[in-house]
Amino acid sequence: MIELLMFTLSFLILMAVGIPIAFAFGLSGVFGFILIGAPLDLFAQRMWTGLDSFVLVSLPFFILAGELMHGSGILARILDFSKMVVGRFKGGLLYVNTLVAMLFGGINGSAVADASAVGTMLIPAIKKDYEDAPLAAAITSTGSIIGTILPPSVPMIIYAFADGNVSIAALFMAGIVPGILLGLSMFVVTYFIAKKYNYPADDTKYTFKDVILIIRRTIVAGILPLILIVGIVAGIVTPTEAGAIGVLYALFVGFFITKELTLKEVYASIGRTVNISAIVLIMMSIGNVITWWLTMEGAPEFISSFLIGITSNAMVFLVITFIIFLFIGLFLEQAPAMVMLVPIFAPLATTYGIDPIHFGLFVTLVTGLGLITPPVGICLFVTSSIARESLGNVFKRSLPYFIIMTAVSVMVTLIPQTYMWVPKMLGF
């Protein structure tokens, strides 16, 4: 246990002095190997085995498909559709922001990409019409985490890899209802905010011809998630094959339907995909080393004995785990938190009789909340920089949304019947 405490202390110190999380993990891992006298060549070997999975090839494909769809002008079409559907309410742009986040999140599956793309397009508009930059950044950052729940979801793929005992397709199906509930909960908060400040509505008039045109232009965006989800759920393709098909479809849409995708944008999309994928995969490889080291040090057995000693009730275990993951989310991003903690807590959840799909959705949702909580809430940083507002002001305005989304998360955690019927209906 002394080695475990020293490892934890070294990791916290490295993070405190500003070392990136991946390198803090890696250096702490090397220190841990030295403490127990393990050969360092084993460190490199465990890093390699941490990436030796065909499923992980799907990650860059999913990310690239989302990037290409954004470069194809799809986001602008989704924006037009959302304005037509909810823009006529008071504070219409706030509703539009949330709906766009839900629809676009269902295409790219990444909260950070969602926050950046949606924020770049809508934060300036909300600032101009409502003169409320902190609110514009707040609603964009909170709405972005819906993309981690609605399928196809990159964090769910990461969770499935870290667990190794849960179906990606089942997780995708389990995320549909909670994702919709999160969006509706944001609509409720927006209603009261718009009413309080008497924000204007969009008075654009749409003819029947306009409605048909906007719907037709938006359908091409909706086909991509259908291809990915139906193909995976029906067992026609693997997640990796679905991702590759998604990339081909995005290229086809961009070059031949919207005709807005250029070779320059394809190159830029590939570059962004490489950067994002590299960050995630480095974290996963090092996370595999840390998980192995923690296992050798008996951390899973210690945590298991400790929690079982506290309670034998599954609901109490979930509440305790909810608090632990929410706290961890303050300091760790979603991917490293999953890679480090899921191999420890997922088997423990099974001993409590908790369905692996239920636990996977729960972990994805709670770690997603960490993306909008300082000091490491990366989506808050993204949107606050776009809005040119302080992180404190943005987080303050996001609190009503964060609170109600946390309440939805608690409900989803404790009442899995609200959404588990979807994967069960499909035979998972």
pLDDT digits (tens, 9 = 90+) for 245-281: 888 988 988 888 888 888 998 999 898 888 888 877 8
For residues 115 and 100, what is the distance between their CA atoms, to the nearest angstrom? Answer: 11
Q: Which residue has the tokens 């943005």?
A: 394
248-256 contacts, C-beta under 8 A, 24 or more apart: 249/65, 249/223, 249/224, 250/64, 250/65, 250/68, 250/69, 250/72, 250/224, 251/68, 253/69, 253/72, 253/74, 253/220, 253/224, 254/68, 254/69, 254/71, 254/72, 254/73
Q: Which two tokens stand for residue 390?
A: 């302080």
Is the Cα dihedral 84, 86, 87, 89 positive or negative? positive
Give me the amino acid identity at 382. V
Q: Which two tokens stand for residue 334?
A: 């979603």
For residues 235 and 265, what is the distance between their CA atoms, to the nearest angstrom? Answer: 32
CB–CB of 81/186 below 8 Å? no
Q: Which pLDDT score, from 0 to 100, does residue 1 have?
A: 61
Q: Which pLDDT score, from 0 to 100, does residue 26 have?
A: 79
Q: What is the pLDDT of residues 327-358, one digit of tens each?
A: 888 877 788 788 888 888 988 898 899 999 99
* Cα–Cα nearest to 151, from 95, 80, 225, 77: 225
pLDDT band, residue 127 (cuts 50/70/90): confident
Q: Which pLDDT score, from 0 to 100, does residue 365 have?
A: 92
Residue 425 predicted with pLDDT over 80: yes
Looking at residue 148, the DSSP 8-state letter turns out to be: G
Q: What is the pLDDT of residues 289-313, one digit of tens each?
A: 877 777 777 777 778 788 888 888 8
For residues 161 and 178, what is the distance between their CA atoms, to the nearest angstrom? Answer: 21
Q: Which pLDDT score, from 0 to 100, does residue 359 have?
A: 94
Is the Cα dihedral 318, 319, 321, 322 positive or negative? positive
Q: Which two tokens stand for residue 109?
A: 């599956």
Q: Which residue has the tokens 């390198």?
A: 23
For residues 10 and 38, what is the distance between their CA atoms, to the nearest angstrom? Answer: 18
Residue 198 CB neighbours (<10 A): 8
Distances from the Cα of 52 to the Cαs of 36, 48, 57, 287, in angstroms? Answer: 25, 6, 10, 13
pLDDT band, residue 288 (cuts 50/70/90): confident
For residues 344 and 363, what is the distance between their CA atoms, to the nearest angstrom? Answer: 12
Q: Which pLDDT score, from 0 to 100, does residue 233 have?
A: 80
Task: Report the mean per-residue pLDDT for the chain.
Answer: 85
For residues 219 and 74, what is the distance between their CA atoms, to the nearest angstrom? Answer: 10
Q: What is the pLDDT of residues 60-109, one digit of tens each?
A: 888 888 888 877 888 788 888 888 888 888 888 899 989 988 888 766 66
CB–CB of 66/108 below 8 Å? yes
* Cα–Cα nearest to 155, from 371, 352, 354: 371
Residue 52 predicted with pLDDT over 80: no
Residue 114 predicted with pLDDT over 90: no
Is the Cα dihedral 276, 277, 278, 282 positive or negative? positive
For residues 294 and 119, what is the distance between their CA atoms, to the nearest angstrom? Answer: 39
For residues 91 and 282, what is the distance between their CA atoms, to the nearest angstrom? Answer: 42
CB–CB of 130/193 below 8 Å? no
* Cα–Cα nearest to 139, from 375, 404, 322: 404
Q: What is the pLDDT of residues 177-189, one digit of tens each?
A: 999 999 999 999 9
Q: Which pLDDT score, from 0 to 100, does residue 355 have?
A: 92
Which stretch of DSSP H or E encloses residue 265? helix 263-296
Q: Which pLDDT score, from 0 to 100, does residue 109 have?
A: 66
Q: Please give the full DSSP string across 28-80, using - where no structure is assigned.
A: HHHHHHHHHT--HHHHHHHHHHTT--GGGGHHHHHHHHHHHHHHTTHHHHHHH
Percent of the residues in the chain that have a pLDDT greater than 70, as a whole number: 98
pLDDT band, residue 122 (cuts 50/70/90): confident
Give the distance from CA 275 to its chain's centroid: 17
Residue 58 predicted with pLDDT over 90: no
pLDDT band, residue 54 (cuts 50/70/90): confident
For residues 157 and 40, what is the distance between their CA atoms, to the nearest angstrom? Answer: 29
Q: Return the half-sphere exposure (C-beta side, CA atoms, 13 A cut-off) of residue 132.
A: 19
CB–CB of 397/143 below 8 Å? no
Q: Model's pTM, two decimal places?
A: 0.85
Give the distance from CA 395 to its chain's centroid: 18
* Cα–Cα nearest to 25, from 245, 261, 335, 391: 335
* Cα–Cα nearest to 341, from 332, 330, 350: 332
